[in-house]
Amino acid sequence: VQLQASGGGLVQPGGSLRLSCAASGRTDSSNVWGWFRQAPGNEREFVAGIRRGRGTTYNLDLVKGRFTISRDNAKEALYLQMNSLIPEDTAVYYCAAATGRLITSEMRRIGAYDYWGQGTQVTVSS
């Protein structure tokens, strides 16, 4: 499975961005998809995840209702709608896919994911 993230950029505080992740290859082998982010000097952290059955989970400490993860199965695409962005959201955002049928707590683990996109930079600054 190959993942290609896009949609990052420079946005002012309070603004919005929609990240996309296009999947190709053996996408039918994936059951869970997630978004992670990594800021300079920080570890990569979980942002949001979604199951093939559309169950979702979020890192509520980070997103506080501002982000929404979704997936278009027909287009094999994953999305992250980010609203009310703040400077602390500045990071490289990565999409990932897992073949395992993960429980909610497992969806937060970096090691649970088998495939990763290359990342897209999001910068929130005035």
Cα separation of 43 and 75, whole Å? 31
Closest-CA residue to 34 (of 42, 44, 23, 46): 46
Q: What are phi and psi of 110, to 5 degrees?
A: -60, -40
Encode pLDDT of 51-106 as tens digits. Answer: 987 789 999 888 989 999 999 988 889 999 999 999 999 999 999 999 988 999 99
Encode pLDDT of 4-18 as tens digits. Answer: 999 999 999 999 999
Give the model's pLDDT for residue 73. 85
**Structure tokens, 43:** 């570890």
- Residue pointed to by tokens 């296009």: 22
Give the model's pLDDT for residue 12. 98
**Structure tokens, 3:** 């993942």
The one-letter code for the residue type at 14 is G
